A = this chain, B = another copy of it.
Amino acid sequence: MRIPVELKKSHRLLNHGPTTLITSAAARRRNVMAAAWVTPLDFEPAKISVVIERTTFTRGLIDESGELVVNLPTRALLEATYAAGQSSGRGCDKIAELGFRTAPATRVSAPLIEGCVAWLECRVIPEPQIQERYDLFIAEVLAAWADDEVFVSGAWAFPDEARTTVHHLSGGRFFLTGAQIQVDSPARER
């Protein structure tokens, strides 16, 4: 079930560096792209940074709407995730073509991808200079959600491989998020 994540803890959804699917919508068009270059930027108000290359169809939709959703896909969605990074959404509905099902977001017009395990609804904070120079966007997180079987009590607890987040290396080579290790606080040790 999709449950809300407290905004000031929403960085935990991205802190481990997973590959994401960015959805966008404007003027009755919508799209999905794969993006690995997404990172938390601040705790409160929660912000992220994301690279959206200027040649992409997504870029136009985000420039127009000022909104996006960061979706976290899983092992089960790996093939579709990679395919989302290999084709353009110009002239088609890439979301439908790749077989993604969607649900409406609450604060933005871009959709949520079903089967993902976390979602961050975001609004761009305009910084035209760095958008233009570096294709780098800063966005505020307006709402955050996670699958309550996978993100439990504010922490990732992947129940099986199919619902594990993924990390892209290059050329279709991915890593799954691996074993979890708890390091004791140095303050407690000493």
Q: Are A178 and B179 in contact (CB under 8 A)?
A: yes
- Which of the residues B15, B135, B181 comes within 8 Å of A170, measured between beta carbons? B15
A78 at the interface (CB under 8 A from B): yes
Smallest CB–CB gap between A87 and chain B, Å? Answer: 7
Please measure, in the bound complex, the distance between the C-alpha atom of A183 and the C-alpha atom of B135, giving whole angstroms. Answer: 27
* Chain B residue with Cβ nearest A171: B185
Indicate the size class of the contact surface on chain A.
Answer: 35 or more
Q: Are B186 and A87 in contact (CB under 8 A)?
A: yes
Q: Are B181 and A178 in contact (CB under 8 A)?
A: no
A32 at the interface (CB under 8 A from B): no
**In chain A, residues 28-45, which have Cβ atoms closer than 8 Å to a Cβ of chain B?**
36-42
A1 at the interface (CB under 8 A from B): no
A21 at the interface (CB under 8 A from B): no
A163 at the interface (CB under 8 A from B): no
Smallest CB–CB gap between A83 and chain B, Å? Answer: 4
A142 at the interface (CB under 8 A from B): no
**In chain A, residues 171-186, which have Cβ atoms closer than 8 Å to a Cβ of chain B?**
171-186
Q: Are B167 and A16 in contact (CB under 8 A)?
A: yes
- Which of the residues B38, B75, B181, B187 comes within 8 Å of A75, measured between beta carbons? B181
Smallest CB–CB gap between A57 and chain B, Å? Answer: 17
Q: Are B36 and A15 in contact (CB under 8 A)?
A: yes
Q: Are A183 and B177 in contact (CB under 8 A)?
A: no
* Chain B residue with Cβ nearest A176: B178
Please measure, in the bound complex, the distance between the C-alpha atom of A78 and the C-alpha atom of B182, giving whole angstroms. Answer: 10
A47 at the interface (CB under 8 A from B): yes
